[in-house]
A = this chain, B = another copy of it.
Amino acid sequence: MEWINQNKILIVGLGLIGGGYAKALSRIGYDVYAIDANPDSIGYAIDNGIILDGSIEPTPELVGSADAVIFAIYPDRLVKWIKDYQQYFKPGIRITDVTGVKCSVVYDVQAILRDDVEFIAAHPMAGREVYGVRNSTERIFHDANYLVVPTEKNTPEAIEWCKRLGKLIGFRKVSVLSPEEHDKAIGYVSQLTHVIAVALMTCNDNRHLSDYTGDSFRDLTRIARINDEMWSTLFFMNKDALLQEMNMFINEMTKMRDLLQSDDVEGMRAKLRLSNYRRSWFDDNKKEGK
């Protein structure tokens, strides 16, 4: 099954990410349809040529005509959606998602999914501090990473298909890793960073300090403007991995506190040098586009 034959793409959940996908796929020439509980989102997307048609609920016609389905809904709602509506799927289709946690989603979905439909998980690492299809844009994908997260149940063809989808939508880099690798990596690079940004805002009523802040404070707290429902769901769905990462970070902060407390200048400078070395490596690695 080639992309050229998969004309009809159904997007379930037309928010910031679903909307961005719809824009990209419509622009390339696919027939894109959407389901979203919010009639305003569907109306806006039709009026602006982002989708051909849509519905506020899953109908047998809309779901049944899709050659591929992309789920851009909250992770805790995916399993129930599949249970309730998978009977409508056309035989042989592939479905994917955009969920930021994997172990707690992928295995459950694959366990209940019809045998003639394949679920290949993916995580587009893109976002903004605003929400909804009205704020969606393809641009947020262009400098972002796209992670394909197969299990042993997935076929090589579905993995290739999903990698191709990431490239079609415009992601800078497409990688493949297991659900376990994914959740550990995301616990560190994404969830821990969000917890840190939140803790920096909540540990102190800092509003009187806004005249004294520099770039560093603004950078570290940009992501503190956070959707509490979505991120709380993600944190608890990745509880074990995130707990490990949080404990590792708290332990390191405590070590640095002890270095300061005990006047260990050389120990502190060694930490700063290691940080500088690693971050420089990171910059240089990125510049070369590796």
Contact = CB atoms under 8 A, between A and B. Distances in A.
B275 A198 contact: yes
Chain A interface category by residue count: 35 or more
A111 interface: no
Number of copies of chain A assembled together: 2
Given A193-B217, A222-B219, A272-B198, A265 B210 contact: no
A42 interface: no
Interface stretch (A4-12, A51-59, A63-71, A281-289): A281-289
Interface stretch (A17-25, A85-93, A153-161, A241-249): A241-249
A188 B217 CA distance: 9
A156 to B, nearest CB: 21
A202 B127 CA distance: 26
A142 interface: no
A250 interface: yes
Contact of A220 (B175, B196, B265): B196
A200 interface: yes
10 contacts: A173-B211, A195-B253, A196-B253, A199-B249, A207-B282, A221-B279, A236-B260, A243-B260, A249-B253, A250-B254
Across the A-B interface, the 8 shortest Cβ-Cβ residue pairs: A228-B272, A203-B252, A198-B275, A125-B214, A201-B275, A224-B279, A225-B279, A189-B217
Interface of A: 125-127, 144-145, 147, 173, 175, 177, 185-186, 188-190, 192-207, 209-217, 219-229, 231-232, 235-236, 239, 242-243, 245-254, 256-257, 260-261, 263, 265, 268-269, 271-276, 278-283, 285-286, 290
